[in-house]
């Protein structure tokens, strides 16, 4: 048996025949997993992002920022729905519920921070904002549905 370099069969210096087409197929296949890939990337480089943004290497600050980021990033879809619906309703002149929702958000943040932080500490602060986003999104979504049933003027993909 002839001795060669390395283990296994020799590789030829053959170039890819359709690199661009192969990459398009790969991206099309991976597009179904883009949210998961986004989370993996953010969680993988989160520590470096926090260091860069804060300019600190303090382990406690970085760990608290990472906890806040990892909990809140999961609820960004809820936040985006809340912001789009709130803006849409204000745009068509229905200002009462969006303003009420903002007021409820403010009151809950002030009130719940005192109660939750005493019991759960910083973790309570991290989970408080997503909980408030969900409450306000449900409130604004209810008003949006009522408006849609009475006036067929807003077209939304939600």
Give residue-wise pLDDT tens across range 2-22.
555 556 556 566 666 777 888
* Residue 139: closest CA among 106, 108, 98, 111: 98
Helices 96-120, 122-150: inter-axial angle, 10-degree rounding? 160
Secondary structure, 3-state, 67-105? HHHHHHHCCHHHHHHHHHHHHHHHHCCCCHHHHHHHHHH
Largest CA distance in the chain: 84
Stretch 59-76: mean pLDDT? 89
SS3 127: helix
pLDDT tens, 31-49? Answer: 888 778 877 887 788 888 8
CB count, 10 Å around CB of 99? 13
pLDDT tens, 106-149? Answer: 888 888 878 888 888 889 888 998 999 999 999 999 988 888 88
SS3 16: coil
Compute the distance between CA of residue 85 and CA of residue 38 in angstroms, rounded to an integer.
24
């Amino acid at each position: 048996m002839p001795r060669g370099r390395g283990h296994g069969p020799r590789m030829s210096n053959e170039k890819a025949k359709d690199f661009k087409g192969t990459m398009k197929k790969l991206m099309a296949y991976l597009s179904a997993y883009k949210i998961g890939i986004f989370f993996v990337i953010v969680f993988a480089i989160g520590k470096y992002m926090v260091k860069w943004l804060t300019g600190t290497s303090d382990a406690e600050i970085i760990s608290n920022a990472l906890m806040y980021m990892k909990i809140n990033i999961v609820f960004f879809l809820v936040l985006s729905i809340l912001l789009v619906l709130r803006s849409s309703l204000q745009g068509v002149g229905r200002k009462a519920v969006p303003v009420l929702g903002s007021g409820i958000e403010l009151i809950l943040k002030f009130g719940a921070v005192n109660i939750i932080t005493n019991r759960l500490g910083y973790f309570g602060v991290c989970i408080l904002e997503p909980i408030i986003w969900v409450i306000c999104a449900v409130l604004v979504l209810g008003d949006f549905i009522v408006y849609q049933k009475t006036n067929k003027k807003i077209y939304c993909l939600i």
